[in-house]
Structures are given as C-alpha cells and as structure tokens.
C-alpha cells in the first residue's frame, strides 16, 4: 500500500518562484553609481545615501528633464 505523505507536503507553488516587487538598484560607491548612470544614459541625476549611520549605500534618483 502506498503513502500520500510526499504528495501532500509538496506544493507546486514552489516551482513558480517568489513574486516579489523589483527593488531599485543600489551601489556601494559613488563611482559605481556614476558608471552605471553613464552606461544607461542617465545624465541628470542625484545620489541618495540610504545609510543613516556610518557606511555608504547609494541609489540613483533621476531628475526631471
């Protein structure tokens, strides 16, 4: 006689992956952010430091044209 233990535990929802919102790209240095902006044609932007304490983590915020 077989068991259905595996079939009850296994769910096919794990095969689909997580449906998570895309997050903005962040950078560890100003140079890396500047290179990314240049490579993607972003000319008017400012860098927003996301760290409140020591350390640096930047996000590019595009300015209106």
Domain extents in the chain = 23-65
pTM exceeding the 0.75 threshold for the entire prediction: no
Calpha distance 9→18 (Å, rounded):
18
CA–CA distances in Å: residue 62 to residues 17, 30, 44: 31, 15, 6
Instruction: Tell me the two tokens of residue 59.
Output: 């996000």
User: Could you tell me if 16 and 48 are in contact, meaning their C-beta atoms sit under 8 angstroms apart?
Assistant: no
pLDDT at residue number 9: 62
In this predicted model, what pLDDT tens digit does every residue of 3-23 receive, in sequence order? 666 666 666 666 677 778 888
């Amino acid at each position: 006689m077989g068991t259905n233990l595996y079939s009850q535990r296994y769910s096919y929802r794990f095969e689909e992956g997580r449906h998570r919102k895309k997050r903005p790209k962040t950078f560890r240095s100003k140079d890396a952010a500047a290179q990314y902006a240049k490579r993607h044609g972003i000319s008017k932007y400012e860098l927003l430091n996301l760290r409140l304490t020591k350390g640096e983590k930047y996000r590019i915020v595009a300015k209106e044209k």
